[in-house]
Amino acid sequence: MNGKAPHIVQYQGSKRKLAPQILQYMPEKFNRLIEPFSGMAAISIATAMEHRADSYVINDLNKALVEILKEAIENPSQLAADYRRIWDEQFLYGDNHAEHFYVVRDRFNNGQETPANLLYLIARCVKGAVRYGGNGKFNQSPDKRRHGTNPDTLEQNIYVISNLLKGKTSYFALDYHDVFEMAHPGDLVYMDPPYQGVTNVRDNRYFSGVPFDEFAEAIKVLNNKQVDYLISYDGVCGGKEYGEDLPESLGCKKVMLNAGLSSQALLLGKKSTTFEALYISESLIPLSHTIPKQLSFMEEMA
């Protein structure tokens, strides 16, 4: 893949930048890519750009998020028009354009959970970070310096994404356990559960954090069914490790991907490289032996 695949909107935790490295560990061709924790589906989009899978399953517990992807892929002209109308409204507020964010947030929290409303909130909020309070209401604040993704850019990107995935994708808003039930040999399951330690917020509707033991136990289902999988799970930044290793008994191999300079550390005047772990299921391990080191920026860990 040359360069980054298009995205709908910036989304915190997106694997768009890492996609070229992650895709190196996938078979050349396979039946179906299943993303149980799809977020904005960066890996499905990048895989479709390379025509590696015949079909795609996009799932996220956050139903409104999945609705954005569904509308972008199945009905891009409608989503582009709805987003443009909302985006244009902010200029009625002059210098107070950030106030418009709160108006849309209230609409969203009071029954209008439309794909375009949520898309605008993600496009305009701090770091593209979707946050819900204990009452289940979207509570993230606007980034006051920006107007949010330009509707022309958005429109161009969603048409590309729609062309790649329309007619090949099914959409679900289920807990990941239920999605594992759908997997068969010949599928590839790519998992990017909420980051351990960071997203483990109680009473938080969508970012409840996935308990480590429960997740490790659930992976056994895929092993028993002989389904191939890749898991992005924890991170290392500036020598500090986040997250626990998955149990060796699962038979996976862990490789570290170079995610570049940490923007958080840069803000504090430090230069630290972030590494993100990728776990490779047993039958995919032979693939990892053929990946040239200079291409993968990979540091192998046992």
Ligand X SMILES: C[S@@+](CC[C@H](N)C(=O)[O-])C[C@H]1O[C@@H](n2cnc3c(N)ncnc32)[C@H](O)[C@@H]1O
Residues near ligand X, by CB under 6 A:
11, 13-15, 36-37, 39-40, 42, 60-62, 175-176, 192, 194, 206-208, 210
The minimum distance between CB 289 and ligand X, in angstroms, equals: 26
Return the number of the residue (20 or 36) whose C-beta is nearest ligand X.
36
Q: Which is nearer to ligand X, 50 or 89 (CB)?
A: 50
Q: How far is the CB of 206 from ligand X (least distance, A)?
A: 4
User: Which residue number, 7 or 100, has a Cβ lying nearer to ligand X?
Assistant: 7
| Cα 285 from Cα 228, distance rounded (Å) | 10
59/281 with CB nearer ligand X: 59
User: 1 near 23, Cβ under 8 Å?
Assistant: yes
Burial of residue 30 (CB within 10 Å: 0-12, 13-18, 19+) is middle
Euclidean distance between CA atoms 72 and 88, whole angstroms: 19
Q: Cβ(199)–Cβ(209) under 8 Å?
A: yes
What's the per-residue H, E or C state across 105-143?
HHHHHCCCCCHHHHHHHHHHEHHHCCCECCCCCECCCEC
Query: In the chain, which ranges are E strands?
Result: 30-35, 53-59, 169-172, 187-191, 228-237, 240-242, 253-261, 273-280, 299-301
Select 60 or 234, whichever has its Cβ closest to ligand X. 60
Cβ closest to ligand X, residue 207 vs residue 212: 207
What is the smallest separation between the CB atom of 97 and ligand X, expressed in angstroms? 27
Instruction: State which residue has the least CB distance to ligand X.
Output: 39
Return the SS3 of 170. strand
- In angstroms, what is the minimal distance from the CB of 129 to ligand X? 11
CA distances from 169 to 32, 59, 154, 225, 280 (A): 9, 10, 20, 22, 24
Instruction: Give the span between the Cα atoms of 277 and 301, in whole angstroms.
Output: 9
CB of 93 to ligand X, least distance (A): 30
- Closest approach, Cβ 213 to ligand X, in A, equals 14
CB closer to ligand X out of 12 and 90 = 12
Cβ 84 to ligand X, closest distance in Å? 23
